[in-house]
Structure 1
Amino acid sequence: MKTLLKILLATVLFATLSIKAQQDKNPNVILITLDGVRWQDVFTGIDTKLLNSSYTQDKDLLTEKFVGTSIEENRTLLMPFFWNTIANHGQLYGNRNKNSTVNLTNKMMFSYPGYNEILTGSADDENIDSNDKIYNKNVTLLELANTTEAYKGKVAGFGSWDVFPFIINDKRSGVPVNAGYMDATGDLNKREKFLNEIQRQAPVIWESVRLDVFTHQYAKEYMKKNHPKLVYISYGETDDFAHDGHFDFYTKSLHNTDALIADLWNYVQTDSFYKDNTYFIITTDHGRGEGIEEGSKWTSHGIDVAGAEQTWLAILGPDVTSTGEASNNQLYTNQIAPTVLKTLNMKIDSNKMPANSIDFKRP
């Protein structure tokens, strides 16, 4: 009898492990946004007009670090992971100098509407016309994934901006969100306890936006511990430094964010759960102005700022066709959510989300 019971228990355990292994074969997606980063910075490198403007305090330092002999060298100096890894093994969209365009469909052209469009696949200008902390009535891709058998309880969001619990609607969706100066909660490891201790000991530059290094480390520790299959990470420093008119800090922050993404990619390649089954989809919530004149100020974005509707997109992963820098194409930000869901092998309900996904995989 005991032998039979052991066999039955072993059979159940094997079946459970087999189901888990089968579920874990479902793809993983890390969706990443860099707040208010212009396509010009990604595709042409440091802006020499702004470098030589009153927005720059230490021109010599920026020149030494980020100015080379060509546009190609400049952009690689500024964002080496994008141009040494993504450009060689993935896809990059949005270089308008090559007639590759990515545009917002919302008319607001600032953060909450932009993130709503990225995460839901639709603009909602009627209901989302401010950055106020109002719970999003729209259902995000995170929430949709969290209702499926394959991804339920395996979705998480991390952001530097404290509005993300409202954008993702953590109360309704059940998706855990750590944003702003929120501490990690639950059964914490030593590093998470340490992050909770020091995140306000570092300089608090903006009360609503923490430094990106903390968002990054909270996300990475959560991934190591819980292995979520769909993770959203929003880095925020770039937009706030730009609003403050600090081109030095904006440029250094963009360079640092590129390094944070590289660090996360390198981690993914060493973790058996994520390795060879994880996609990075990277974009921004809006563009911003090009120069120093009113109506096109680099510090600004929104409906009255030329260029604020212009965005970009990068994709990297195991089955991504290595086409590098795209040309002669038109994409829209509202295509990102259905693209993520398609990558997760989720059926898209056209009543909840347009099914205009981007085809980036190998034939």
Structure 2
Amino acid sequence: MKKLALLFITMGLSYAVKAQEITQTENVFLITVDGLRWQELFQGADSLFVDDTGMIEKQGSLLEAFWDPNPLKRRQMLMPFTWSTLAEQGQLYGNRAFGNQVDMRNNMLFSYPGYNEILTGVPDDEQINSNSKTNNPNITLLEHLQGLPDYKGKVLVFGSWDVFPYIVNEDRSGIPVNAGFDKAEGPNLSESERIINRLQQEIRGPWEGVRLDPFTHHYALEAIKKQAPRVVFIAYGEPDDWAHDNRYDEYLHSIKQFDGYLRELWDYIQSTPAYKDKTTMIVTTDHGRGIDKSSWTGHGTGIPRSREAWIVGIGPDSRALGEVKKEGLLYPAMIARTIFQLLGLTYPDENADKVITEILP
């Protein structure tokens, strides 16, 4: 029995070597969510931002939707799918309350460097040190796979941020990227895709270079249903942008929405013969952020705890460890080589980080 791999990852080199086939994973979904702190993932709504009446500083009540004195209940209220299905059948790393750490390796601690690290397995502070729209000189895990006969034309990328075509280097890799305010294109658009195209034109979010996550999610889901790709990278963005705007209420709502999108993706995988029991899903974030009222809106070198991240994995080759409470240290840079090994391949870049052994059989 094989399972599809849902991973937040990028792969390097286009000459991967076939390794001994001992895994059940045939497909990978790599999912990222921008700037979601481990504190909300593992503890729910932060008491520093929600007072004892449940009122947020700026406006509105979060009490009924997100607040309980017990952090275990709070996290279930915020991310019910994560703390049911993923916690029961998968693995969750990064709860620093137990000394279980996940750290970014790059020292920039913002988005482009973070995504480069995840997708290549190697931090590159020398070349990737801004969020500018410059094509990535490094080869991602996605491009390595696109170069293999078994995966060519079967790798898709969707992102809310309009820089992803450059991070993935769409021009060089030949991987189709739907990001920013891109629409679904082609001669055989579904009725749903036509509707999403129209709504994206009519409903503008508050940010110039980032669209609202519902568009990214539904473009991705429609394309998955039509094309049945083997490797999918979906990058959601709202939590980071709402945090930058100091909107803790919308930050929480976007996290709960993201959790619902994970449920929808996993339910589709497990109900679709091409994916069921053949897919691994890996979820992670590109950076952490500050921990108090003066710094939680930001991240970067000047906010050291921006290094703190997390990783979630679920799939046919991964044991159901749930929330990992033992001391340890992992890096999102380890995802690239891990994905290749799950697919029975040897990662072509010898400089990439090592594998996450617990996710492998």
Aligned residue in 1 for 2:128: 128
How many angstroms does 1:55 deviate by?
6.2
Q: 2:300 aligns with which of 299, 302, 309?
A: 302
Indicate the RMSD between aligned Cα atoms, in angstroms: 1.7
Task: Provide the rounded CA distance (Å) in 2 between the counterparts of 1:350 and 1:234.
Answer: 23
Alignment of 1:1-363 (within 5 A): 27-52=26-51, 56-58=57-59, 60=61, 62-186=62-186, 187-293=188-294, 297-326=295-324, 327-351=326-350, 353-354=351-352, 356-361=354-359, 363=361
Provide closer, same or farther for how the CA distance between residues 332 and 121 of structure 1 changes in structure 2, counting only shifts above 3 A.
Answer: same
Return the letter of the residue paired with 1:217: H
Taking CA–CA contacts closer than 8 Å with sequence separation of 6 or more, which of the two structures ends up with the larger relative contact order?
A: 2
SS in 2 for 1:113: helix
Aligned residue in 1 for 2:15: none
Deviation readout 1:77-134 (Å, 9 max, x if unpaired): 1011111111110000000001100001100000000000000101010011110000
Deviation readout 1:31-66 (Å, 9 max, x if unpaired): 000100001010011001012399633453x11111
Return the letter of the residue paired with 2:139: V
Provide closer, same or farther for how the CA distance between residues 57 and 269 of structure 1 changes in structure 2, counting only shifts above 3 A.
Answer: same
Q: Which runs of 4+ in 1 moved over 6 A?
A: none
How many angstroms does 1:354 deviate by?
2.0
How many angstroms does 1:360 deviate by?
2.7
The question of whether the paired residues in 1 share the 8 Å contact of 2:25 and 2:342 is answered with no
Q: TM-score, normalised by structure 1?
A: 0.89
Deviation readout 1:263-316 (Å, 9 max, x if unpaired): 1111111111111111110000000000123xxx00000000131000000001
SS in 1 for 2:220: helix
Report the structure, 1 or 2, having the larger helix content. 1
Provide closer, same or farther for how the CA distance between residues 292 and 355 of structure 1 changes in structure 2, counting only shifts above 3 A.
Answer: closer
Larger deviation, residues 221-230 vs 268-277: 268-277
Larger radius of gyration: 1
Provide closer, same or farther for how the CA distance between residues 86 and 204 of structure 1 changes in structure 2, counting only shifts above 3 A.
Answer: same
Task: Provide the rounded CA distance (Å) in 2 between the counterparts of 1:154 and 1:238.
Answer: 29
Return the letter of the residue paired with 1:264: L
Task: Provide the rounded CA distance (Å) in 2 between the counterparts of 1:75 and 1:211.
Answer: 23
Return the letter of the residue paired with 2:144: L
Q: TM-score, normalised by structure 2?
A: 0.90
Task: Provide the rounded CA distance (Å) in 2 between the counterparts of 1:175 and 1:361.
Answer: 26
Task: Provide the rounded CA distance (Å) in 1 between the counterparts of 2:109 and 2:320.
Answer: 31
The question of whether the paired residues in 2 share the 8 Å contact of 1:112 and 1:128 is answered with yes
How many angstroms does 1:69 deviate by?
3.9
Task: Provide the rounded CA distance (Å) in 2 between the counterparts of 1:291 and 1:216.
Answer: 31
Provide closer, same or farther for how the CA distance between residues 362 and 310 of structure 1 changes in structure 2, counting only shifts above 3 A.
Answer: closer
SS in 2 for 1:204: coil
Unaligned runs of 5+ in 1: 1-24
Deviation readout 1:124-166 (Å, 9 max, x if unpaired): 1001111000000000010001111221110010000000000
How many angstroms does 1:255 deviate by?
0.6
Identity %: 45
SS in 2 for 1:50: coil
Unaligned runs of 5+ in 2: 1-23
